[in-house]
Chain A
């Protein structure tokens, strides 16, 4: 198994839309992997689908 190479990071605006989540409909600027970013909403532990590159 190859050693892990940390990917390039970019900034994204992400918005969680889960009902009841503390971050619901609040856009947050965050660092994430540039290609195929995966962002998890901290308060509700749900993958955020609304991601826009800055």
Chain B
């Protein structure tokens, strides 16, 4: 870079990265009246603005690197494309449009960890993680047996059309349904999906003929059969069954 400026220049004239303002040569891209760099100690390197401006960056401790704002301004650290290494700690973090948690790699997508309460919580681990794994959005405890829930996004409707809780009331806690083929004089047992019900559900059965019956109902399955009439002979056929548990602790509700 040249250190000798032209002996005469007009306002706005550019020379080797500098622009003449009528009095002095300013470095292009920096407004010396508002933006400037200053280091007030030798113990650390920092960027600060000590004017009365409401927006600035400063480091007030040499123990670690961080960004803070001491004024009442609501905007600071406005740098497009800024990249941080390490952690950012703040009482609140606001994203004016959206918060992006980038994919971690492989089957793991973005992830957010919500810390668990200090008291009255039996959540295992550090807290509850919300993440994307393969096709699933998952919410689960970050430890123990990873209790949680998931939604397979590929099984949901276009236009964000699947409503988890329609708000209509009376949505069953658990359900299952199927078709069982029974033979003459041979009632069959039907297993429910493993772990689906916590109590014996309410079961409705409809056969393709005669009278439909159930017996020995438990939370894991039911025996179904059909007869030609009340107390009549057993007969073969298809049995269409539906099992419902309305709440987490009771079949009805």
Q: Do A and B bind each other?
A: yes
Spell out A's residues near B (CB within 8 Å): 1-4, 6-7, 9, 12, 14, 16, 22-23, 26, 28-33, 36-43, 45, 48
Smallest CB separation, A25 vs chain B (Å): 10
A31 x B193 contact (CB < 8 A): no
Extra A-B contacts (15), CB below 8 Å, given A4-B225, A31-B189: A2-B233, A4-B185, A6-B215, A28-B221, A30-B218, A30-B221, A32-B188, A37-B189, A38-B182, A38-B183, A38-B186, A42-B178, A42-B193, A42-B241, A43-B191
Asked if B45 CB lies within 8 Å of chain A CBs, one says no
Which chain A residues lie closer than 8 Å to B227 at the CB level? 3-4
Chain A interface mostly helix, strand, loop or mixed?
A: loop
Contact flag A29-B220 (CB < 8 Å), given A23-B194, A38-B183, A45-B178: yes
Question: In the assembled complex, which residues on chain B have CB atoms less than 8 Å from the CB atom of A22?
Answer: 193-194
Bound-complex Cα distance A4 to B233 (A): 4
A6 to B216, CA, bound (A): 12
Question: In the complex, are the beta carbons of B223 and A32 less than 8 A apart?
Answer: yes
Q: Is the CB of B193 within 8 A of A39?
A: no
- Residue of chain B at shortest CB distance from A32: B189
Residue of A whose beta carbon sits closest to that of B217: A31
Q: Is B134 engaged at the interface, CB distance under 8 Å to the other chain?
A: no
Q: Is the CB of A3 within 8 A of B194?
A: no
Question: Cα distance A33–B190 when bound, in Å?
Answer: 11
Q: Are B194 and A45 closer than 8 Å at their CB atoms?
A: no
By Cβ-Cβ distance, the 8 closest A-B pairs, closest first, are: A31-B216, A4-B234, A32-B189, A30-B221, A1-B233, A26-B194, A38-B188, A39-B189
Task: Contacts A32-B223, A33-B187, A45-B179 given; indicate if A23 touches B216 (C-beta within 8 A).
Answer: no
Q: How far is the CB of B241 from chain A (nearest CB, A)?
A: 8
Smallest beta-carbon distance A40→chain B, Å: 5
29 A-B contact pairs sorted by A residue (CB < 8 Å):
A1-B228, A3-B231, A3-B233, A4-B185, A4-B231, A4-B234, A6-B215, A12-B189, A23-B193, A28-B194, A28-B220, A31-B218, A31-B221, A32-B188, A33-B189, A36-B186, A38-B182, A38-B186, A38-B189, A39-B190, A39-B191, A40-B188, A40-B189, A42-B180, A42-B192, A42-B221, A43-B193, A45-B180, A48-B191
Question: Are B223 and A9 within 8 A (Cβ)?
Answer: yes
Answer yes or no: B181 CB below 8 A from chain A CBs.
Answer: yes
Known: A1-B228, A3-B232. A33 touches B191 (CB 8 A): no
Which residues of chain B are within 8 angstroms of A31 by Cβ–Cβ distance?
189, 216, 218, 221, 223
Query: Does B215 contact A9, Cβ atoms closer than 8 Å?
Result: yes
Q: Which of A29, A36, A42 contacts B190 (CB 8 A)?
A: A42
B178 is contacted by which of A7, A33, A43 (Cβ under 8 Å)? A43
B residues near A32, Cβ cutoff 8 Å: 188-189, 223
Q: Which residues in B have their C-beta under 8 angstroms from that of A16?
A: 191
